[in-house]
Amino acid sequence: MSLKKIRKQLAILLLLSVNLTVCAHEGMWMLGRLNKQTTQSMKELGLKLPADKLYHPNKATLKDAVVSFGGFCSGVVVSTDGLVFTNHHCGFGAIQQHSTVQKDYLKDGFVARSKEEELPNPELYVRFLIRTEDVTQRVLGSVSPNMSEADRRSVIDSVMLAIQEEVHTKDSSVVGVVDAYYGGNEFWLSVYRDFNDVRLVFSPPSFIGKFGWDTDNWMWPRHTGDFSVFRIYADKNNQPADYSPDNVPYKPQYVAPISTQGYQEGSFCMTLGYPGSTERYLSSFGVQEMVEGMNQAMIDVRGVKQAIWKREMNKRQDIRIKYASKYDESTNYWKNSIGTNKAIKDLKVLEKKREMESSLKQWIQQAPGADSLSIQLLSTLELNYKNRKQTNRAMAYLGESFMNGPELVQLALEILNFDFEAEEKVVVSKIKDIMEKYANLDLDIDKEVFTAMLREYPQHVDSVYLPEMYNTIAKEYGGDYKVYVDSLYARSEITSPRGLQRFFERDTTYNLMDDPAISLGIDLIVKYFEMNQSINEASQNIEKGERLYNAAIRRMYADRNFYPDANSTMRLSFGTVKGYSPMDGVDYSYYTTAKGILEKARTHHPDPDFALGANLISLLKEQNYGKYADEKGEMKVCFISDNDITGGSSGSAMFNAKGELLGLAFDGNWEAMSGDILFEPKLQRCVGVDIRYILFVIDKYANASNLIQELQPSLK
Active site residues: 89, 226, 650
DSSP 91-135: SHHHHHHT--SSS-HHHH-EE-SSGGGPEE-TT--EEEEEEEEE-
- Of 22, 29, 73, 70, the C-alpha closest to 47 is 29
Residue 198's DSSP bridge partners are 232
Determine how many CB atoms are found less than 10 A away from the CB of residue 168: 13
Distance CA 291, CA 288 (A): 5
Distance CA 200, CA 93 (A): 11
Edge-first strand order for the sheet with 268-273 is: 571-576, 268-273, 653-655, 661-667, 686-690, 636-641, 591-593
DSSP 261-307: S---TT-EEEEEE------TT--HHHHHHHIIIIIHHHHHHHHHHHH
* Three-class DSSP category at 199: strand
Q: What single letter denotes the amino acid at residue 662?
A: L
State the burial class of residue 429 (Cβ atoms within 10 Å of its Cβ: 0-12, 13-18, 19+).
middle
Contact indicator for 465, 391 with CB cutoff of 8 Å:
yes
Contact indicator for 248, 203 with CB cutoff of 8 Å:
no
Contact indicator for 81, 70 with CB cutoff of 8 Å:
no
Find how far residue 524's CA is from the centre of its chain. 27
